């Protein structure tokens, strides 16, 4: 029996760039990022701003092109500077917007753009959002901690102290989610598609400072936290692209956590670079891989070599200097 699957739309993303071949328009204004794009038509297959599709493409290309850090969820987890965060937002859109609006296409000429913008059609309104930078930094910390917690769960020897430290990082930054939920509900005038309940927040906070249970396995606390976190963003089916887009109008965070749900349910080989000056996440290509790139491997080996031989060299130079004096 043959099953035919009809693909209603080729992608799912926050907005399209204002110029062909460019990224979303992002300007830093005070403590905010102002992001502007064209409302998506979902007509371009494998669109560069389609976070889910780019994750799938990165997974397909990993072994053939030896790229272990190109997937959007790894890019976000590794975005440990404002420059990297702004680069991520410019490609995929706001993670959690302080505000989001749809503007008529007639306002496109008001935006000062270098180069020629895409011509707006009758159904091409502008989509604008304001992303608070501190909220963006906090979201990155929550996400990278949750990602590291999934990696800890996948290890053969579970480290309870390391896991609890990560749970504490999540608990300390997730407290703002209920306020963000109320803000989104007020602006959209409807119930957001995600919600962190008071019970879930309390449970995560309690587990961040609890001691191992006498009878239950210590790994259970980490699994509970991940389930509470992932269940905030429920899987939802939409009848049309407009309703689908409304679920991420105020930020692509639900898409990021949908990838994290896949990693939790079906773990892949992910590591942290052994280069002490890198320590970024990467998808492992071979069993003995410790570094995210050959460059990181070379730099770490060079540092270890000079650390081992440097003392002897300094002692030898000091001895020669003393002898000549």
- pLDDT score, position 322: 66
The per-residue pLDDT for 323 is 61
SS percent in the chain: helix, strand, coil, step 5 = 50, 10, 40
Sequential pLDDT tens for the chain (325 residues): 444 434 444 578 999 999 888 899 999 999 999 999 999 988 888 899 999 999 999 888 766 655 678 899 999 999 999 999 999 999 999 999 999 999 865 555 544 444 455 555 545 789 999 999 999 999 999 999 999 999 999 888 999 999 999 999 999 999 999 999 999 999 998 999 999 999 999 999 999 998 888 888 989 999 999 999 999 998 888 888 888 899 999 999 999 999 999 999 988 778 888 788 888 877 887 777 877 777 877 776 776 666 777 666 666 666 666 666 5
Phi, psi of 77 (to 5 degrees): -60, -30
Residue 1 is predicted with a pLDDT of: 45
For the chain, count helices (H), then strands (E): 11, 6
pLDDT of residue 97: 97
- pLDDT at residue 147, as a whole number: 96
**What is d(CA 16, CA 25) in angstroms, rounded to the nearest whole number?**
10
pTM of the model: 0.85
Whole-number pLDDT of residue 300: 66
- At 63 the pLDDT is 63
Task: Compute how many other C-beta atoms are within 10 angstroms of the C-beta atom of residue 1.
Answer: 2
Task: Report whether 248 contacts 255 (CB < 8 A).
Answer: yes
Task: Look at residue 7 in the predicted model and tell me its pLDDT.
Answer: 46
Tokens 């990838």 sit on residue: 259
Domain positions in the chain: 25-295
- Residue 216: predicted pLDDT: 86
Q: What integer pLDDT is reported at residue 269 of this predicted model?
A: 79
Residue recorded with tokens 């000079």:
306
Range list of β-strands (E), the chain: 25-29, 32-38, 99-103, 126-132, 270-272, 281-283
DSSP string, 143-203: HHHHHHHHHHHHSSS--HHHHHHHHHHHHHHGGGHHHHHHHHHHHHTS--SB---HHHHHH
């Amino acid at each position: 029996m043959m099953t035919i699957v009809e693909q209603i739309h080729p992608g799912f993303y926050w907005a399209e760039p204002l110029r062909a071949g460019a990224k979303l328009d992002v300007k830093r204004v005070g403590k905010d990022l102002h992001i502007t794009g064209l409302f998506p038509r979902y007509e371009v297959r494998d669109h560069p701003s389609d976070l889910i599709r780019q994750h799938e493409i990165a997974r397909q290309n990993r072994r053939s092109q030896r790229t272990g850090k190109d997937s959007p969820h790894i890019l976000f987890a590794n975005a440990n500077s404002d420059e990297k965060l702004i680069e991520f937002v410019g490609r995929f859109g706001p993670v959690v917007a302080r505000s989001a609006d749809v503007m008529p296409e007639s306002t496109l000429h008001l935006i000062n753009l270098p180069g020629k913008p895409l011509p707006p059609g009758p159904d091409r309104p502008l989509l604008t959002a304001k992303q608070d930078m501190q909220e963006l930094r906090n979201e990155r910390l929550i996400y990278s901690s949750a990602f590291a917690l999934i990696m800890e769960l996948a290890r053969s020897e579970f480290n309870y102290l390391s896991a609890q430290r990560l749970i504490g990082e999540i608990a300390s930054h997730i407290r703002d989610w209920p306020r963000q939920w109320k803000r989104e509900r007020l602006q959209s005038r409807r119930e957001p598609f995600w919600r962190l309940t008071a019970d879930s927040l309390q449970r995560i906070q309690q587990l961040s400072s609890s001691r191992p249970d006498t009878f239950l396995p210590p790994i259970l606390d980490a699994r509970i936290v991940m389930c509470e976190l992932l269940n905030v963003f429920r899987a939802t089916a939409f009848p049309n692209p407009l309703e689908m887009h409304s679920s991420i109008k105020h930020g692509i965070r639900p898409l990021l956590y949908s990838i994290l749900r896949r990693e939790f349910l079906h773990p892949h080989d992910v590591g942290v670079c052994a280069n002490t000056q890198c320590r970024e996440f990467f998808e492992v290509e071979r069993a003995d891989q410790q570094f995210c790139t050959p460059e990181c491997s070379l730099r770490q080996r060079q540092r270890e070599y000079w650390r081992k031989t440097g003392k002897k060299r300094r002692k030898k130079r000091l001895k020669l200097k003393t002898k000549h004096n």
